[in-house]
Amino acid sequence: MCGMSQQHPVRSTPSRPARPDASMSLLTNVMEHSLDDGYAEAAARRGAEGRSGLPRTLRGKLVLAAGLVLAALVVTLGAAQARFEAPTEARERQELIDRIEDGSRDADGLQTRVDGLREEVAAMQREALQEHGGDRGEVVALLAGAVPVEGPGIRLVVDDAEDSGPGEGGGPRQSNGFADTGRVRDRDLQRVVNGLWESGADAISVNGQRLTALSAIRAAGDAILVDNKPLVPPYTLLAVGDGQELSDAFQDSIDGRYLDVLQDNYGIRTGISVQDRVRLPAAPSLTVRTAEPVKTGKGSTS
C-alpha cells in the first residue's frame, strides 16, 4: 500500500545471562576488596615509613646510636666512681695491714717477755732445789723435767707412710689394735713413749718438747698434740740413758715389736740409732704447786 513505509522487524540482540551471584554484588565486593583503596594506600605508606614518619632503617640506626650512648655513659660513670673509691679502699686496706703488723709486733714482744720471765722463774726454782734439796733436789728436778739434761741415749724417728692419706687421729682402729692407715696416731706415740720409759729412759723429748709426769699426748684432727702443742711428722724422740742397753731393751719390748708391726703392715717408717750424747731442754710449762721444807742431818729445817 502507498504511503505506508515498510517496516522491517526489529532484530533483538540476545542478552548475556545473569551471573549467579548478581544478587550478592555488595557481599562480593566486600569479600574482594576488604579494605578501602584509600585506607589500604595509607596503611602501606605507614608501614613503609613507620610511626615516626621515618624510614625503618633510619629509625633502627637512631635506636642503636641511643643505646650506644647510654652504654658509654654507664661505663664512664662506673669508671669515674671506681677511680673515686679506689684511693679510699687502698687507704683503708693499708691501715688494716698496719694495724695487723703492729699487733703482731706487740704480741711477739709480749711473748719474748713471757719467755724471759718463765726462764727467770725456772732458774730460781732450780737454785731453790739445789740449795735446799741437795742431791735429792737435783734428782727430783731431773725427773720432773725442771732442768735441761744431757748425756748418752738413743734417737728414735717415727714417720708416716709415704702414701698415707688424711685421717682422723682418734678414729676407729681395726680389731687387731693397730692403726688402719699409714699415719702415725697419738696412741702410737703413747705406746712408744711408755715403752721407752719402761726400757729405762731417764728423760724423753718429742720434737724438742720435754715430757714430764704431767705430759699428755692427744690428737686434734690429723695433728698430734704434746702438752697442747701441735707437732708435725716426722716425730723425733730423744731418750737419755745407757744408749745400747736402752736401744736393745726397747726393741725387745712389746712396744718395740708394735712399731715393727706398724712398719711391716702399714708402711710407717721407723729408725733407731744409739747416740753418744743427746741434749733435752727443760719443760717450759712446769709449775711448782707445793713445796715442803726438808730436815737436815742436825735436825733443823732449812
Q: Comparing 269 with 295, which gets the higher pLDDT?
A: 269
Residue 125 pLDDT greater than 60, yes or no: yes
Query: Residue 201: its pLDDT value, please?
Result: 92
222-231, long-range: CB < 8 A, 24+ apart? 222/166, 222/167, 222/168, 222/169, 222/183, 223/169, 224/169, 224/184, 224/185, 224/186, 224/189, 225/186, 226/189, 227/283, 227/285, 231/206, 231/207
Residue 235 pLDDT greater than 90, yes or no: yes
Question: What is the mean pLDDT of the segment spanning 19-33?
Answer: 58
Q: What is the pLDDT of residues 63-92, one digit of tens each?
A: 788 888 888 888 887 777 777 666 777 778
Residue 4 pLDDT greater than 50, yes or no: no
282 confidence band (pLDDT: 50, 70, 90): confident
Query: Residue 62: its pLDDT value, please?
Result: 79
Question: What is the mean pLDDT of the segment spanning 102-106?
Answer: 91
Query: Residue 3: its pLDDT value, please?
Result: 47
